[in-house]
Amino acid sequence: MDSNLANLAIALTFTPEDLSWLREAGAAVPPFWQGHLTAPATGDVLRLADRQFSVFGRAWEHDGQRPVLRLYLTSGTPRSDTTLH
């Protein structure tokens, strides 16, 4: 694994409504990209509990110690309304 990617922190940014849903559902956000060789890209889709989110924007930041890739996610869509191909 590229040592630069191993040091990368990834921060997920949810809508206020989805943050509320996450708290109410008690859903934990796993480290989706931990151990991957490539950073997440716009258009990537992830599922969390019974919702699906897409990455619609990325912003590079630095927290003073390491690079941070902030991912902006679409509003969660219930799984029953979504099909993946």
Name which of 62, 66, 63, 52 is nearest 21 in CA terms: 52
Q: What is the mean pLDDT of the segment spanning 59-77?
A: 91
Extract long-range pairs of 78-83: CB within 8 Å, 24+ residues apart.
78/50, 78/51, 79/47, 79/50, 79/51, 79/52, 80/50, 82/52
Q: What is the mean pLDDT of the segment spanning 74-80?
A: 75
Please answer whether residues 40 and 55 qualify as being in contact, where contact means their C-beta atoms are separated by less than 8 angstroms.
yes
Please answer whether residues 27 and 66 qualify as being in contact, where contact means their C-beta atoms are separated by less than 8 angstroms.
no
Q: How high does pLDDT run on average in the chain?
A: 84
> Would you state the pLDDT for residue 53?
93
> Would you state the pLDDT for residue 1?
45
Q: What is the mean pLDDT of the segment spanning 3-11?
A: 75
Q: What's the predicted TM-score (pTM) here?
A: 0.79
> Would you state the pLDDT for residue 54?
93
What letter would DSSP give residue 74? P
The first and second tokens of residue 80, run together, are 């029953």
